[in-house]
Amino acid sequence: MTTDQSSDRSSGRVENPTPAPSLTVVICAYTVERWDDLCAAVASVRAQQRPPAETVLVVDHCPELLRLAREQLPADLRILPNRHRRGLSGARNTALTAARGELIAFLDDDATADPAWTESLLAGFRTPEVLGVGGHVRPWWQTGRPDWFPPEFDWVVGCSYRGLPDGPAPVRNFIGANMSFRRAEALAAGGFRTDLGRVGRRPLGCEETELCIRLAAGHPGAVLRYEPAAAVRHRVPPARTTFSYFAARCFAEGRSKAAVVRHGGAAAGLASERAYLRHTVPAALLRTLRRRRPATAAALCAGVALTAAGYLTGAVAGRAERTASRRTDGEPTPGPAHDGTRGIRPAPARAPGGTATGNGP
């Protein structure tokens, strides 16, 4: 393990070596149908130029996958069942509580990390105010990018999109396929909300966005850093290249953002989205019209409309839920916002917005 060292200039003697923070890499998986992808993800972590202190696989309530992983994956891989509520948030919280590293990085089970991925993530934590580092996610189109698919909407397939910073920069939130945190701070913030996020193939998300907002709110002056050099490749299968998938994901993203706003407030929950709609989308629309690409222009407009419709639907549903949960005396009915297992509970918070890099601007 490398160390940061200071030296006595008069004697040349090295003093007070500071160990570099240890890193746990986590992969969460839920189905044997992505076995080949999972094996590739694990292999990419094992091939890192700077190996992590440990690699953890969390299996989300799939006994068959758990058995297969324990039988066939490398013996030095820690394999754990999800100890919380079914879903990606519960699996990630299992890793947060079980990991041994000071830093924890998450890689999707259908993504592969570049050889310098861990080194680039670790480099982003050089200063103590940095609580998290997220990297670039390249789409790997199995059948090629559809001609109509706008790069500004690559967040639909869980990848970095046009409009993100070109270089290292502070951001509001990360893309879930490629993100890392100081583990103690993420635990203290309450981990990932299990009432948000993907469960199986349900196309909801934004649990990483909500956690990032909570982290920033709890640590004034903290930085969440986007580091494009920490890159991964995310597989995009043919099923995700159809317009029906595009439409469903946009609508689901809108609903998810409505939930984030309910928990964190509109100032933090929509700050980046407003900038995206004011600048990124209009610039993309003008560019596509100049290049005479009407199908892409139509997809841009449809994506915005569907996301807005999902947001409005989610906002109305949220208001209805709050009304239904009130007692006759007008007080809200108490109930856990989280499964509460192993002491992880999120705290309500509000925070200023920034550039977004999550699954959706």
Domain-located, residue 4: no
pLDDT, residue 343, reads 42
Specify burial of residue 94 (Cβ count, 10 A radius: 0-12, 13-18, 19+): buried
State residue 196's pLDDT score: 72
Sign of CA dihedral 114, 118, 120, 121: positive
Q: For residue 17, what are its two tokens?
A: 């070596």
Q: Sign of torsion, CA 353 354 359 361?
A: positive
Sorted by sequence, the CB contacts under 8 Å of residue 89 that are 6+ apart come out as 191, 192, 193, 194, 196, 197, 207
348 belongs to a structural domain: no
Is residue 276 one of the residues assigned to a domain? no
Structure tokens that stand for 200 in this block: 């199986």
Within-domain flag for 232: yes
- Predicted pLDDT of residue 360: 66
Global confidence as pTM: 0.83
Within 8 A by CB and 6+ apart from 144, the residues are: none
C-alpha closest to that of 357 among 156, 149, 164, 89: 164
**Residue 64 resides in a domain:** yes
Q: What pLDDT, on the 0 to 100 scale, is given for residue 16?
A: 47
Residue 47 domain-assigned? yes
What's the pLDDT at 18? 57
Report pLDDT for 334. Answer: 36
Q: Taking Cα atoms as reference points, which of 136, 149, 355 lies closest to residue 229? A: 136
CATH number at residue 27: 3.90.550.10
| pLDDT score recorded for residue 4 | 43
Instruction: State the DSSP string of 201-270.
Output: T-----HHHHHHHHHHHHSTT-EEEEEEEEEEEEEE-GGGSSHHHHHHHHHHHHHHHHHHHHHH-HHHHS
pLDDT of residue 198: 61
Determine, yes or no, domain membership for 5.
Answer: no
Residue 27 in domain: yes
Number of domains into which the chain is organized:
1
Residue 73 lies in domain: 16-269
Q: Which residue positions in the chain have pLDDT lower than 50?
A: 1-17, 328, 331-343, 345-354
CB 143 within 8 A of CB 164: no
